[in-house]
Structure 1
């Protein structure tokens, strides 16, 4: 996560309950589904009437409208300019994506997230005012590559290019040993944050706790040090 992303997420209103998602393809549907399940009011739009009807049928949005987001008047009539956060999920149609992002930013929407399909697409979105640009395919590809090369790492959160928090399967070499005996900080430069215990995590576990094969542990530290673990 870079500093611009950090500043963007800091600026989001915690009391915001309404979102608009423009584009109801796979990515847009995933955003709608998750927001809706979390209890937020989601307005979904797409130029394809079938996708709009499907979103309503599947009940992944509170409201859905068929409209052309490249037309400022259509967005205004739909009330999208009045919302605090708009997600432009049009990734495969670059021209429409850029025009839509420009429309909502020029109308004064404070928080605009836009999906990009290429690096150039992302730069153009930033030029026209997107507050945060995401690259779902790139991020999914990176995650898959890591999973294939480091299958013991179950999840990863990159703090910056050099440091991460990772959840990993307890290495066989650590089985039966206490946390104190492992000396993770002095030997690997890592800090242990949590250890799994019967499908739950124990935060800041007791140093006398013995690790078990097949359970999970969460550590934070430099990527180079994480790579030195026997996994």
Structure 2
């Protein structure tokens, strides 16, 4: 399973048009555009750099891309940015431009604004001007790396909040040929099993009597403290 896009899709409202605008087409913004576009969402990418705009179009990583100065509210309005359900401000390395842009799209009434920050101070400023969600990619990547080094059995992870996660793990040898009921994952570890399987085929909400096989995949949800107690 791949949880990488859940963080962006989680804020979507039922019945929304699922349209995204990405402001700033550096590595982070380009990756967001490409992932959303490949998932079938309508994406507009914008940047002040003409070359970045051309690169996005040449890669086919967005349905539309425009060169604009995002610190100019009139340019944002003319580009139709204020009409989108979700705007991602991916100008993490230019603090002033990032804050001005975030403030402009929030004051224009955009329902959900996700902003990239480059530091804790930057993150606090973005929250002060109204960002609905702030991400620090380098920090999150560092946490993910540390977890992968200390918990090699975790294949994928999605943080629901600072204390709870959904994780995909490799079934350890100690779980081999034991059923979910026998393992008492809820009673002993405080975890709920969402799915089991292998490769691209998963059994969602599996029977408690299903035996697990070493090397298969197991998707569980629970607190990070309980997940850390798993023998992986």
TM superposition score category, shorter chain reference: 0.7 to 0.9
Q: Answer yes or no: is the 8 Å Cα contact 2:11–2:112 preserved in 1.
A: no
- Distance, in Å, in 1 between the alignment partners of 2:177 and 2:77 is 63
Q: 1:156 is matched with which residue?
A: 157
2:168 is aligned with 1:193: no
2:86 is aligned with 1:74: no
Residues 16 and 195 from structure 1, CA distance in 2 versus in 1: closer, same or farther, beyond 3 angstroms?
Answer: same
Q: Answer yes or no: is the 8 Å Cα contact 2:195–2:218 preserved in 1.
A: yes
Q: Answer yes or no: is the 8 Å Cα contact 2:12–2:18 preserved in 1.
A: no
Report the count of equivalent residues: 225
Q: 2:66 is matched with which residue?
A: 65
Q: Answer yes or no: is the 8 Å Cα contact 1:44–1:64 preserved in 2.
A: yes
Does the residue aligned with 2:220 lie in a helix, a strand or coil? strand
- Distance apart, 1:205 and its partner CA: 2.4
Q: 2:115 is matched with which residue?
A: 114
* TM-score, reference length from structure 2: 0.87
Q: Answer yes or no: is the 8 Å Cα contact 2:24–2:46 preserved in 1.
A: yes
Does the residue aligned with 2:157 lie in a helix, a strand or coil? strand
Q: 1:3 is matched with which residue?
A: none
- Aligned CA RMSD, in angstroms, stands at 2.3
Q: Answer yes or no: is the 8 Å Cα contact 2:115–2:126 preserved in 1.
A: yes
Q: Answer yes or no: is the 8 Å Cα contact 2:16–2:85 preserved in 1.
A: no
Unaligned runs of 5+ in 2: 1-6
- Distance, in Å, in 1 between the alignment partners of 2:74 and 2:209 is 65
- Distance apart, 1:79 and its partner CA: 2.2
- Distance, in Å, in 1 between the alignment partners of 2:86 and 2:205 is 36
1:15-54 alignment runs, 5 A limit: 15-54=16-55
Residues 73 and 33 from structure 1, CA distance in 2 versus in 1: closer, same or farther, beyond 3 angstroms?
Answer: same
- Distance, in Å, in 2 between the alignment partners of 1:221 and 1:40 is 30
For the pair shown, which has the larger CA radius of gyration, 1 or 2? Answer: 1
Residues 160 and 23 from structure 1, CA distance in 2 versus in 1: closer, same or farther, beyond 3 angstroms?
Answer: closer
Q: 2:104 is matched with which residue?
A: 103
Per-residue CA shift, 1:55-95, capped at 9, x if unaligned?
Answer: 11111122211121112222222222233322111010111
Residues 171 and 33 from structure 1, CA distance in 2 versus in 1: closer, same or farther, beyond 3 angstroms?
Answer: same
- Distance apart, 1:105 and its partner CA: 2.0
Per-residue CA shift, 1:78-120, capped at 9, x if unaligned?
Answer: 2222333221110101111111112222233232221111111
- Distance, in Å, in 2 between the alignment partners of 1:11 and 1:181 is 38
Q: Which moved more, 1:218-227 or 1:43-52?
A: 218-227
- Distance, in Å, in 2 between the alignment partners of 1:163 and 1:109 is 28
Residues 147 and 62 from structure 1, CA distance in 2 versus in 1: closer, same or farther, beyond 3 angstroms?
Answer: same
- Distance, in Å, in 1 between the alignment partners of 2:19 and 2:40 is 10
